[in-house]
Amino acid sequence: MAELRFDDRVAVVTGGGGGLGRAYARLLASRGAKVVVNDLDVKDDDGRTPAGALVEEITEAGGTAVAHNGSIGEAGAGESVVATALDAFGRVDVLVNNAGMVRDRSFAKMSDEELSDVLAVHYFGSYALTKAAWPHLRAQEYGRIVFTTSVAGLYGNLGQANYSSAKAALVGLGRTLAVEGARSGIKVNLISPGAATAMTAAMLPERLHEKMSPDRVAPMVGYLCHESCETTGEIFHAVAGTFARTFIAQTQGYENADATIEDIAANLGQIMDLSEWSIPGQAVELPE
C-alpha cells in the first residue's frame, strides 16, 4: 500500500505537548500535515512551553507546526485554537481531541470542583473546539474528528466517577456528530487508548512502560484522521500494538407487551442472553 500522507491538510491536536498527543502530532507532521499543537501555558527551565518544545522538534525534522499555549478547558480556548489554525494555515481539516486530566477520588468524597475541572477539559474542551471548527468543516465538506473516550468511560472504574462521566459523554457527542456530519463529508470516530503517559505511568508497572508506548496507539488515530478513512461513528480500542473495535450491542431479549414485574424477573436470563444480539444503527429504531 502507498504511504498514507496528509500533505496540505491542517490538523489540530489538543494536549499535544506530551504523551499520546505528542505521538499523534509527531506522526501527522511526519506524514506532511501542518499541525497546531495545543497544550498548557507552562514553561520549562529553557522558557519553552510543552507545545513550543514539540513545534521546535517538528520544525527541526522538516515538518510544519505552530503552538497554541493554554488549557483547552478555558473559556474561549476552542475558538482561539481554531483561529490559530486559520491564521497560520488558512484552514482546518482534522481535530484530535486528546487533552485530558484526572482528579481521582471516591464518589463519596468527590467535590463539585473535582467534577467540573475534569468535565471542563475532557468534555467541554472537546465540545468547544469542535463547535468552533464545525462551520469550516461543513463549508469545505470535509473533516476528520477523533474524540478520546476510555475504558473507564465505557465500563466504569473505581475512584473515577468524574473522569468516567466525561469520557462516556464524549461517546454520545461523537456518535451524534457522526450522524450530523455525514452529509458534509465529516467523519467522526472515538479512540479508547491505553498508554504509559505522565497521567497514567504511575499506575502501571514499569515493565509495561515501553510496551505501552503512545507510539503504539498513534497509527490507529493517524488512520482515523486520513481522508481515505470512510468509517464513522465507531469506537476503537488501541493499546500496546493491539487494535480492536468496541461496540454497543443489544440482545434479542424477551418480548411481552403485557409484561409484569414478575415476568421480567422470570425472564431475566433471556433478556441477558448473549447468544443472539445486534448492533443498533441509530438511537431511534421504532418497533415494527
Q: How far is C-alpha 114 from the chain's CA centre?
A: 21
Report residue 93 as a C-alpha cell.
481539516
Residues 90-101, mean pLDDT to the nearest whole number: 97
Q: What is the pLDDT of residues 183-216, one digit of tens each?
A: 999 999 999 999 866 666 556 656 555 666 899 9
Give me the mean pLDDT over the 231-251 stretch. 96
pLDDT at residue 288, rounded to an integer? 61
Side chain identity, residue 189: N
Q: Specify the residue for cell string 463547535.
A: 131
Global confidence as pTM: 0.94
**Whether the predicted pLDDT of 62 surpasses 90:** yes
- Residue 42 predicted with pLDDT over 60: yes
Size of the chain in residues: 288
223 belongs to the catalytic site: no
Rounded CA separation 99/85 (Å) = 17
Instruction: Point out the catalytic residue in the list 155, 163, 223, 254.
Output: 163
Question: What's the pLDDT band for 159 if we cut at 50, 70, 90?
Answer: very high
- Cell readout for 19 is 504523551
The reported pLDDT for the residue numbered 281 is: 79
Task: Give phi and psi for 34, each to the nearest 5.
Answer: -90, 125
Calculate the CA 248 to chain-centre distance: 17
Q: What kind and span of H or E run contains 22?
A: helix 19-30
Task: Catalogue all structural domains in the chain, each as residue range(s) with its CATH number.
Answer: 10-246 (3.40.50.720), 249-288 (no CATH)
